[in-house]
Chains A and B, each alone.
Chain A
Amino acid sequence: MTWTDLKSALADEGYVASDDLAVALQLALSLGRPLLLEGAAGVGKTEIARALSVVKDAQLLRLQCYEGLDAAQAIYEWNYQRQLLTIRAAAEDGETGKAIEDRIFSRDFLLERPLLAAITQDTPPVLLIDEIDRADEEFEAYLLEILSDFQVSIPELGTIKAVTRPIVILTSNGTRDLSDALRRRCLYTYVEYPDRVTELAILKARCPEVEARLADQIVGFVQKLREEELEKTPGVAEMLDFAAALMGLGIADLTDDLNALQSTLTTLLKTQSDQANVTREVAGRIAGKAA
């Protein structure tokens, strides 16, 4: 499969990827390397993993990172409650120590978390490690070990080697600098906001019922709005919400009714000062320019 095939396969699933992203994805697949995606919130970083899992007909395993995420929540944990109950029950049955120990430290009592689950699947899954920048630096170290060796050592059970190599996609919003070691192991792409043509294609793929003229206006409006000084720039998802809101209100032309346009702006502007800055007149001016 070449990158153009991959790109059109993704487009069939409703994900319109840029050429840069398609090449990087193709390389990540063929070289078996993790792919690190950076970019502003709402440019479709997480969505790419979902689309890829559909294209590759693979399971999507998602690990959402947060501050304080540790190995117990990301890799594996023993099911303590069950182990405890088993010990109590075994004690009443008069079972001996060694037998219980073997039983309670078996795979049945192991709770697989996403990272362990990803390397023990029969078919390679898509592993999405979302917002890696939110996790602590210590967690990066765990991750590096798994991403380089694709194996997990569990002291009580031994080393579990990867059956298949998952397709790994990491995303980052850049709230902190990632370590060089992690960056080195990954392929890298910075995902920009889509340009007008691409965004129009996205809108057509996701909301085919929007008329061509309105679609053009919506995309033009959002693109112009991104050039304004906003605290939170609207992403692709917001643009789709905006289109849905317009469809729901039955608006056929953005410039027709400024009041209706203003009321749908709640789907695009997400802070108080942004809403205060983009008044009815400003919205009208942008819509006029976009038309």
Chain B
Amino acid sequence: MSRITKFAGRDPGPAARMAGFIAHLRENGLRLGVAEAEIAMAALTQVDATHPNESRRALRAVCTGCKEEAAQFDDLFDSYWMDMGRVRQKVVPTAKAPTSDDVHSSRDAKGADAGATGSATAPDGADGEAESDGTGKLIATERRNLARKDLRDLVRPEEIAEAEDVAHRMGAALRDQRSRRRIAARKGDRLHFRKTIRASLATGGEPVRLLRKKRPDRTRKIVALCDVSGSMSVYSRVFLAFLAGLMRADTAADAYLFHTRLVRITEALRDKDAMRAIGRMSLMADGFGGGSKIGPSLLRFADTYAKRFVDGRSVVMILSDGYDTEAPQMIGDALEKLGKRGCKVIWLNPLKGWAEYEPVAAGMSAALPHLDVFKAANTLADLAALEKDLVTL
């Protein structure tokens, strides 16, 4: 490595730099406590710290805690130690740099992709073909929306509180599944022999107190996937509030956004401050309101996250209008894969509320055979009304 670090000679020393690095990681969303800085220093003494790659490996082992963080770490390490001039991503879009009066250009000063962060964006496939070519305004668009929308403008805190209430009732409506194992319980259907014998020691080996066990209830887990493509932007306000409410009401729930890519927003939405959670989500939903690739997004979900987070106890809830720019068969394949994991699939389509709606969009009709529930939902009241469908699931 020939690049030199950005620190001047008058710098107070390695400890201060290390503290700065930990602060830098913290600002970029890694959860690090005070103790980590200490361990990080200790770790550096164990390797040859003058070699950037060795320090990088050591610090990665100490400072990261999950796969996403490990993937992000290299960039963060470079931006702090290697002086690549990258600055921390701001939550709010920064004001445009003033351009010279003599130059008149319609192009953005830093190129078309100035708002995005290199590795996090993937280009659209050029070969995808629009499925429906009608003249309505709800056609799926291929274009990725480069302007980053701040979702905080869309969602108000009161709505989140309302949605939280709806999500609470929804969770309660999902019938618990019962486990096969039995655990100790005051009112159980069977005798708990181990505990009974243990208790009988106190009475000289005579089982005076009979202890019982029962099958515990295992709660259903909601996994929500929300389409935030252009055609859905009218409804996204309701759905995003619902997602935020859901995550606050149910600690086991899981949430994703998709447009042309799939993003997991569970971590972001777990933030204690509801508005800050929405802010973090808007950072991750880069490309929000752009084109839609439902099939590939669902396939990606089925192949990656679903393997980790979806099982027989999950209820997968898809919030989308089904207008896709990719082959409709992909949606069918993805849902079939999901179904094999034993989960229930609910599709909530805002368009279904329209008077003479028929699921004619090719994507939607490919999805229909794999759905357990297919309902309309475009307001919070509609979501709340789902309760009775969930009871029978």
**What residues of chain A have their CB less than 8 Å away from a CB belonging to chain B?**
2-3, 19-20, 23-24, 26-28, 30-31, 33, 35-36, 38, 67-68, 72, 78, 80-81, 83-84, 87-88, 91, 104, 173-178, 180, 183-184, 186-190, 229, 231
Contact = CB atoms under 8 A, between A and B. Distances in A.
8 contacts: A3-B47, A87-B201, A91-B205, A104-B201, A176-B309, A180-B65, A184-B33, A189-B60
Contact of A80 (B201, B204, B311): B201
Contacts of B181: 67-68
A84 B197 contact: yes
B66 A26 contact: no
B31 A180 contact: yes
Contacts of A183: 65-66
A23 B66 contact: no
Interface in B40-84: 42-43, 46-47, 53-54, 57-58, 60-62, 64-67, 69-70
Given A91-B204, A175-B308, A189-B61, 15 more contacts: A2-B47, A24-B60, A26-B47, A28-B61, A31-B42, A31-B43, A72-B194, A80-B198, A84-B197, A84-B205, A87-B204, A183-B66, A184-B31, A188-B69, A189-B60
Interface string B200-226: 110011000000000000000000000
A175 B69 CA distance: 17
A83 B47 contact: no
A88 B205 contact: yes
B114 interface: no
Nearest to B32: A184
Interface residues of B, number: 38
B56 to A, nearest CB: 9
A83 B61 contact: no
Contacts of B35: 184
A26 B45 CA distance: 12
A23 B65 contact: no
A36 B61 CA distance: 9
Contact of B61 (A27, A38, A72, A88): A27
A67 B216 CA distance: 12
B382 interface: no
B183 interface: yes
A186 B57 CA distance: 15
A2 to B, nearest CB: 8
Contacts of B54: 3, 23
Given A3-B47, A31-B43, A68-B181, A188 B204 contact: no
A41 B197 CA distance: 40
B39 interface: yes
B67 A38 contact: yes
A68 B181 CA distance: 8
A128 to B, nearest CB: 18
A24 B63 CA distance: 11
Contacts of A229: 303
B159 to A, nearest CB: 27
Nearest to B48: A2
A80 B200 CA distance: 10
B176 interface: no
Nearest to A3: B47
B36 interface: yes
Nearest to B266: A177
Interface string B13-50: 00000000000000000010101100100110011000
Contact of B65 (A20, A27, A188): A188
Given A20-B57, A187-B62, A189-B61, A26 B46 contact: yes
Given A31-B39, A31-B42, A67-B181, A83 B201 contact: yes
Contacts of A104: 201
Contact of A20 (B31, B60, B303, B311): B60
Q: Which 4 A-B pairs have the closest CB atoms?
A: A183-B65, A24-B61, A23-B57, A187-B61
A174 B67 contact: yes
